[in-house]
Amino acid sequence: MSDAPEQPNGYKKYLPGGDKPMEPDARRRVWMVGLLCFLIGILIIPSLFSHKNVKTLSYSALVHDANKNLVFSSSINSSTGVITGKLKDGTSYTANGPNPVLPKEIDTLETGKNNVTFENPGNLLAALLPYIIWIGLFVGLMVFISRQAKGQMQGMLSVGRSKAKQFNQDRPKTTFADVAGYFGVKQEISEVVEFLKTPGRYKEIGALIPKGILLVGPPGTGKTMLARAVAGEAGVPFFSVSGSDFMEMFVGVGASRVRDLFSTARKQAPAIVFIDEIDSIGRKRGAGVGGGHDEREQTLNQMLNEMDGFDPSEGVVVIAATNRPDVLDPALLRPGRFDRQIVVPLPDLDERLPILVVHAKNKPLDPSVSLEMVARGTPGMSGADLANLVNESALHAVRRHSSTIGMEDFESARDRVMMGQLRDTMVLMDDERERVAFHESGHALLAYVLDKTDPLHKITIIPRGMALGVTMTLPEEDRHIVARQYLEDSLCMRMGGRVAELLVYGDLSTGAADDLQRNTELAIRMVREWGMSKEIGPMAWGSNNQVFLGEDLMHTRDYSDHTSQVIDDEVERILREQESRAIEVLTLHRRGLEALARALLERETIDGETAARLIDEAHGEQVHPEGTKTVSSLSGVGAASAKKVPPVTPVVPAPGWQPPTLPAV
């Protein structure tokens, strides 16, 4: 078998003798070219042969020869005036006579024994060719219009058909072995696959398989990949469709597609139906602003009926995925429809490592790479984030012209993902750069000194993303519940940048805008939702409902004006207390603050261990006698930049300014 190269027009051209048939469109083109050549040949070839061995005479010469009795025969074309015939010496001739032919010329040609005839021998095909061309163009136009109309009619008739894609055992190739972690999730889903493969084992004991399984989790946690693994593992038909595929501008189309989907699945039962992003059609009915959405509600009603209605589906298991379970209609979540909800959370430390191993298995890693350290340094990352991290590290290795991926590549990739893109082209003025150094030093010093904050990892004054500088902390382990003291230390640490500017410069800047916003939001939640205020007590106010559902847009406040004032006072008290704590700690460690700022101005980026050593040396003893509370760099080497600057000169606070004091208890 010989494979011919791909042609520019997208069709394959097979060589003579090949065992593959020619494409239908290619055969059509060959027929068209052949027909065109045939028509051209009919028109040209007769004209080539008709003038062979023919003597061309002028009309006067023909009349002269006729008067001398030298013309044997003449044939006059009455439509063109062309005269053809033979001379008495046997020579054929042709001449252009007058048109129309005059009787005087006819008498002249009939002199002697010349036989004069009249004919209209024009080429019949040539005469009919213009009509044939016009008729062909008309027929072709009608055929084209007919096909277009037929395609539109088919599209209109098939608008209610399901857009689900059916997969078999050969496609896709993803299996449970390709999904790292999530052992409980895979166990529950694998039970569905086993039931569909061997239903007899479950029926003997009277066990009923759930009709619907809802995968719930944040974006990027692998819900769709788990469904693809089910398709790869299942030996039954697998139908995959997105929730948005049911929606059209015509009311009733979505319901029709749901009926068609379940009808097709019943015919091939046992089967699995996977609906991705089911929240696009399964939102609560009647919750929209200004009324419901007819098409969405009809689609949802039809799905409720198909899953567990008067004629329930037998042998059809529905697996759906969403990251917004709070917006789904309660009727969709009741037993008999989606009996089981499986939470697919963000991976913890034990699950991030196998995920990294899966994504890095085909990449050339340097022997010094420790994926365990990378997993420990990436808390809160989803599976998609980890895949992007590995890819970014490979791109960084290519940029530095390395054939392997090293720890420095993972370090740079993590900084790129967590802190933003490096803005090398942004140049700060000297006074701005110094202020940023003190600002970040205030965050870093409090992160190291306070007991309940996350360990200090890295400080940089190189602009990244939207920030002019970044202080990064990393948790020692994944947190599932947060204590009040941890929240208070986090508030105090975020106050560090603002307070450092107050202590050093005696005034404020816009650099603490994001810190203040995040602190205010956290303090409001502490008071309103978590009951961490003595004045408010064990009460909570707040709503997780989204505005687009219409449930919170017209929501009225469920507490009095007095309570609102108490909440505002408590939020202010918490923030001022943490600001005062930050002032006390930074005042105590003022020399450490200046040492950190000087090091940042010299090297621009320092790691947590270097920052801890500078703070301890400036303090005169270890702040934490049990050991430094830091997380080392993934690469083990702090990024250094040999940009030398003069030593930092402390700025005297502006006269008349007094730092805030602790409120009276």
Are 543 and 555 in contact by the 8 Å Cβ rule? The answer is yes
Are 302 and 255 in contact by the 8 Å Cβ rule? The answer is yes
23 as an active site residue: the answer is no
Report the alpha-carbon distance of residue 305 to residue 185 in Å, rounded. Answer: 27
Pairing of strands 238-242, 165-167: antiparallel
Report the alpha-carbon distance of residue 246 to residue 277 in Å, rounded. Answer: 11
Pairing of strands 605-607, 456-460: antiparallel
Report the alpha-carbon distance of residue 90 to residue 73 in Å, rounded. Answer: 10
Report the alpha-carbon distance of residue 60 to residue 62 in Å, rounded. Answer: 5
Pairing of strands 212-216, 238-242: unpaired
Q: Which ranges of 81-239 does DSSP label H, i.e. alpha helix?
A: 103-109, 124-157, 183-197, 199-205, 223-233
Report the alpha-carbon distance of residue 567 to residue 526 in Å, rounded. Answer: 10
Point out the catalytic residue in the list 440, 570, 579, 594. Answer: 440
Tokens of 269: 């039962």
Report the alpha-carbon distance of residue 84 to residue 79 in Å, rounded. Answer: 13
Q: Which of these, 161, 187, 330, 326, lies nearest to 257 by C-alpha position?
A: 161
Report the alpha-carbon distance of residue 227 to residue 214 in Å, rounded. Answer: 11
Are 120 and 78 in contact by the 8 Å Cβ rule? The answer is yes
Q: Which of these, 632, 659, 649, lies nearest to 597 by C-alpha position?
A: 649
Report the alpha-carbon distance of residue 364 to residue 474 in Å, rounded. Answer: 27
Tokens of 480: 């599932």
Are 337 and 331 in contact by the 8 Å Cβ rule? The answer is yes
Report the alpha-carbon distance of residue 585 to residue 607 in Å, rounded. Answer: 21
- C-alpha 568 chain-centroid distance: 42
Active-site positions read 440
